[in-house]
Amino acid sequence: MIVFVSAFFLAGPAVLQSYDDAHHVQLSCVISSAEASSGSTRSAGGVGASVPQVVIESGECGRFVLREGVTADNSDDIASGFEIAEKYDLEAGDGFLKMRGLLRVFGASPELFGYRRS
């Protein structure tokens, strides 16, 4: 049992990321907030790095993080570019969305692959 649990926590994130890279889902969401922040990554060895990101909230779709194309220099500009109370098409990974409830326990939010105003 311990081996299974250890394997899940070590290999699970990589498997989920690979699945999500190939299985994108489009959601139509009204944005309630978007703000620049700093997130963290984790490696198989448990060591992580701080990464710039934009945290996006939607009442009906939940919380997402945008990391693709976000740098420390442009994160504030990207966040302020979202128009609050406007509808956006958000592209996220299907696997993470299906496991969102479980992963929320660990403080994880789905990462966006793309977005555009509807």
Q: Where along the chain do its domains lie?
A: 2-117
pLDDT at 113 (0 to 100): 94
Report the chain's mean pLDDT, rounded to a whole number. Answer: 84
pTM of the model: 0.78
Q: Which of 94, 70, 89 is nearest to 21 (CA)?
A: 94
Task: Tokens for 113, please give them.
Answer: 């692959």
- Enter the tokens of residue 18: 């690979």
Instruction: Give residue-wise pLDDT tens across range 42-94.
Output: 555 556 678 999 999 999 999 999 999 999 999 999 999 999 999 999 999 99
Please provide residue 71's backbone torsions phi and psi, each rounded to the nearest 5 degrees.
Answer: -125, 170
Distance, CA of 63 to CA of 53 (rounded, Å): 13
Rounded to an integer, the average pLDDT of 1-21 is: 61
* Residue 110 CA: distances (Å) to CA of 36, 46, 94: 16, 20, 9
